[in-house]
Chain A
């Protein structure tokens, strides 16, 4: 019997299943791409973001209108000290991070606790894209198209009890995969926390992707939190444990230098960092001669979140 070779289609020519399933988004992306390309060229981007592979919808309710930073900018300028303290260290060293298999331990004041597979954590949640401002405590900022789902939706699944006043996030600390852990620059593992009402706020986001595809390791894969009205360091990256607590959790930067990094760390132009002003910020992506811009109260999300801090002295609880 003559066995015929398969048709002359090379594997690289076959449309991937993910791309096929996502074809509408991809087509929309391509159409939108024409307009974006012009903006990006003016922005000075060297590289277009890679094609989308996740299925998601766009949230207009929670997205800002500013043009996002390029994929290249967002993935080559990171504070992720587990991979080194230089901004380009994470892009260089995070390749060694294995994000599958991955499990997240849920503990503390909740009815459902235990260890959960990442797939089980993600399964029930529909993904959406939200274009958020990111304001670093170091007085620079970016605009980032995150892909994820509301953090509160995830937390509610574990039925936190009435004692759950705070949520604590622990990041992975594996010296074999994270060369930065050799340095004692911070107490490891990296810990962060939110008050439960902050964590349940609709703006608080659990991120799994960027620019339509899975989150690159250097940005906190496979799972990171994002509370856009707070300084960037408040968000845990590569989260392996979520714990509901009655008392305020100890957090890494606050432990390392309490006078410089408060537990709340809300973006506030009126409260300076001891070593620099927070009144203005440098929006990255504008080139060498871009001017500074005014930092907005709660990073521009005051309408949504100011109510959380009614009657609180924000100079004291910085």
Chain B
């Protein structure tokens, strides 16, 4: 390892990664502080949870999971545009935070929101598509979280990447879950939806372009062949 890449590696390990880690923890710590304070259990710093603390925490955890999910989707394009490979190493941590926040969001729904009433939860899942969509997204995140270790990456090899393409199903499910949950408010989900479309379009464009040189070469040679067979080389025609 060269001296330059070693300092980069160190800066990543001891600066970037811890900073992102702590930033990701802020919403959770704010919620915990807010709950303790609003229930007069401790006077600690935390979010102001307002009149409906349960709804506030539920929404904040869900929204954080959604935002972090979009950040993980942003990493690949950013890396491709900037060429900074280090970014890729943040993705796993962000992905695990997505799963953790989604799980806490689900637990807040099951516990404080629905007060652990399984009949209500079952009814919700069966009758209300937006609940089922959120739950499906959480279930699909589970295998991604489980296979996030180096060991699993090595063991799965090529299949790892294919498995992790599940994120392209999880992301639209999450946006739909958010959209359908809202009461006639569509602007914010529309923003998320548009960003998602842009992110996916960027990937599609990259793939097409990666394939493009081969395609044009083949097309060019085919056209050349067609031209030759139809007209033949000018000189040859002259001889006939």
Known: A292-B115, A292-B117. A76 touches B128 (CB 8 A): no
A288 touches B35 (CB 8 A): yes
- Scan residues 169-193 of chain B and give those whose CB is less than 8 A from a CB of chain A: 180-181, 183-185, 187
Per a CB cutoff under 8 Å, which of A73, A276, A288 touches B39?
A288
Chain B's closest residue to A260 (CB) is: B183
Known: A276-B124, A280-B120, A289-B112. A88 touches B50 (CB 8 A): yes
B103-131 vs A, CB cutoff 8 Å, 1 = contact: the mask equals 00000000011110100100110011010
Tell me the smallest distance from the CB of B57 to a CB of chain A, in Å. Answer: 7
Per a CB cutoff under 8 Å, which of B51, B123, B180 touches A277?
B123
A280 touches B57 (CB 8 A): no
A257 touches B184 (CB 8 A): yes
Q: Residue A140 at the B interface, CB < 8 A? A: yes
Q: Residue A285 at the B interface, CB < 8 A? A: yes
What are the residues of chain A within 8 A of B114 when measuring CB–CB?
292
Q: A223 to B40, alpha carbons, bound, how many Å?
A: 36
Q: A288 to B50, alpha carbons, bound, how many Å?
A: 11
Q: Residue A256 at the B interface, CB < 8 A? A: yes
Known: A185-B185, A186-B184, A289-B112. A76 touches B117 (CB 8 A): no
Q: Residue A123 at the B interface, CB < 8 A? A: no
Chain A's closest residue to B49 (CB) is: A288
Q: Residue B53 at the A interface, CB < 8 A? A: yes
What are the residues of chain A within 8 A of B185 when measuring CB–CB?
85, 185
A77 touches B52 (CB 8 A): yes
Q: Residue B145 at the A interface, CB < 8 A? A: no
Per a CB cutoff under 8 Å, which of A72, A76, A256 touches B184?
A256
What are the residues of chain A within 8 A of B187 when measuring CB–CB?
183
Known: A77-B52, A288-B57. A44 touches B39 (CB 8 A): yes
Chain B residues touching A, range: 20 to 34
A22-34 vs B, CB cutoff 8 Å, 1 = contact: the mask equals 0000000000000
Q: A186 to B185, alpha carbons, bound, how many Å?
A: 10
B120 touches A288 (CB 8 A): no
Q: Residue B167 at the A interface, CB < 8 A? A: no
What are the residues of chain B within 8 A of A290 when measuring CB–CB?
54
Tell me the smallest distance from the CB of A233 to a CB of chain B, in Å. Answer: 10
Chain B's closest residue to A142 (CB) is: B51
Per a CB cutoff under 8 Å, which of B39, B115, B128, B180 touches A287?
B39
B54 touches A276 (CB 8 A): no
Q: Residue B76 at the A interface, CB < 8 A? A: no
Tell me the smallest distance from the CB of A287 to a CB of chain B, in Å. Answer: 4
B52 touches A282 (CB 8 A): yes
B124 touches A138 (CB 8 A): no
Q: Residue A115 at the B interface, CB < 8 A? A: no
Tell me the smallest distance from the CB of A151 to a CB of chain B, in Å. Answer: 27
What are the residues of chain A within 8 A of B148 when measuring CB–CB?
none
Q: A138 to B54, alpha carbons, bound, how many Å?
A: 14
Chain B's closest residue to A75 (CB) is: B51
B40 touches A44 (CB 8 A): yes
A87 touches B51 (CB 8 A): yes
Chain B's closest residue to A85 (CB) is: B185
Q: Residue A279 at the B interface, CB < 8 A? A: yes
Q: A175 to B40, alpha carbons, bound, how many Å?
A: 41
Q: A272 to B180, alpha carbons, bound, how many Å?
A: 17
B50 touches A279 (CB 8 A): no
- Scan residues 266-285 of chain A and give those whose CB is less than 8 A from a CB of chain B: 272, 274-277, 279-280, 282, 284-285
A288 touches B128 (CB 8 A): no
Q: A275 to B131, alpha carbons, bound, how many Å?
A: 9
What are the residues of chain A within 8 A of B124 when measuring CB–CB?
276-277
Known: A85-B185, A288-B38. A280 touches B117 (CB 8 A): yes
A276 touches B51 (CB 8 A): no
Q: Residue A159 at the B interface, CB < 8 A? A: no
Q: Residue A161 at the B interface, CB < 8 A? A: no
Tell me the smallest distance from the CB of B29 to a CB of chain A, in Å. Answer: 15
Chain A's closest residue to B187 (CB) is: A183
What are the residues of chain B within 8 A of A292 when measuring CB–CB?
114-115, 117
Chain B's closest residue to A43 (CB) is: B40
Q: A138 to B59, alpha carbons, bound, how many Å?
A: 15
Per a CB cutoff under 8 Å, which of B39, B57, B120 touches A279?
B120
- Scan residues 3-57 of chain A and give those whose CB is less than 8 A from a CB of chain B: 44
Per a CB cutoff under 8 Å, which of A44, A140, A291 touches B38?
A44
Q: A287 to B181, alpha carbons, bound, how many Å?
A: 23
Q: A44 to B50, alpha carbons, bound, how many Å?
A: 11
B29-56 vs A, CB cutoff 8 Å, 1 = contact: the mask equals 0000001001110000000011111110
Chain B's closest residue to A78 (CB) is: B51
Q: A292 to B52, alpha carbons, bound, how many Å?
A: 13
Per a CB cutoff under 8 Å, which of A138, A272, A287 touches B183?
A138
A-B contact pairs, 7 of them (CB 8 A): A77-B50, A256-B184, A277-B120, A284-B52, A288-B49, A291-B115, A292-B114
With A72-B51, A277-B123, A292-B114 given, name 7 new contacts (CB 8 A): A77-B50, A88-B50, A140-B55, A272-B127, A275-B128, A288-B53, A288-B54
Q: Which residues of A contact B (CB under 8 A)?
A: 44, 69, 72-73, 76-77, 85, 87-88, 138, 140, 183, 185-186, 256-257, 272, 274-277, 279-280, 282, 284-285, 287-292
